Chains A and B, each alone.
Chain A
């Protein structure tokens, strides 16, 4: 199964719509609820990141019998120091993002904690591509 969702820059009102759709699909496939939670928490964090830091992007979802692979590609500014961004507590979030209850520097570390595989490709002024996989 393959799905794609578009993320629009600064569209905070719709942050979570892709994660919500993924949750419904996984429920229909009778995936264990703890696994579903790991997937959608990671995707939601990435969705918020793409809206907050990048200029929107696209989410590509592939589901087969063994795993779900989600790739979030944005055309944002890129992450200058990935190791620093993975460090809990480090954040470059705007006051607006903080008002929404995010921006504490917990997003990327929490994504890592929830998925079985995480790959971050990033290039300054080109964009960031995060690929995550959770095995069923």
Chain B
């Protein structure tokens, strides 16, 4: 049987008890793939063109720029990282959803994986 698994952004947020920093208006959008890394060079190797969630603990302006170039629509910051106004500004301009949760990368990734979100590699 072939079927497609995806998650709405609002479902991801609810599952991880995450807060929307930007893009709450896109909560109904769907995500197929997830990738977790603190290494932005690795994120830039993703071939998927859209519907990607990035889970990361790296919280700086380059995280947002990398997501922009890699067409990552949703960035989830684990361990409640502090997002700066400059980051929010670019994310809003690019229609990017930024989520923040208190869980560790390991826990967030595990919870999303069992839901069926697809890995990129």
Contact = CB atoms under 8 A, between A and B. Distances in A.
Interface string B22-48: 000000000000000011111111000
Contact of B69 (A19, A101, A106): A19
Contact of A104 (B42, B50, B58, B61): B42
Contact of A44 (B44, B49, B50): B44
Contacts of A113: 45
A37 B45 contact: no
Contacts of B112: none
B66 interface: yes
| Interface bin, chain A | 20 to 34
Given A37-B49, A101-B63, A107 B41 contact: yes
B62 A12 contact: yes
B71 interface: yes
Given A23-B69, A41-B44, A34 B62 contact: no
Contact of B44 (A23, A34, A110): A110
B40 A33 contact: no
B115 interface: no
A80 B11 CA distance: 51
Contact of B58 (A15, A19, A40, A101): A101
B65 A19 contact: yes
A15 B61 CA distance: 9
A53 B63 CA distance: 20
Contact of B61 (A13, A33, A41): A13
A16 interface: yes
Nearest to A38: B47
Given A12-B62, A23-B68, 14 more contacts: A13-B86, A16-B62, A37-B69, A37-B70, A41-B44, A41-B69, A44-B65, A45-B44, A100-B40, A101-B41, A102-B40, A102-B41, A104-B41, A107-B41
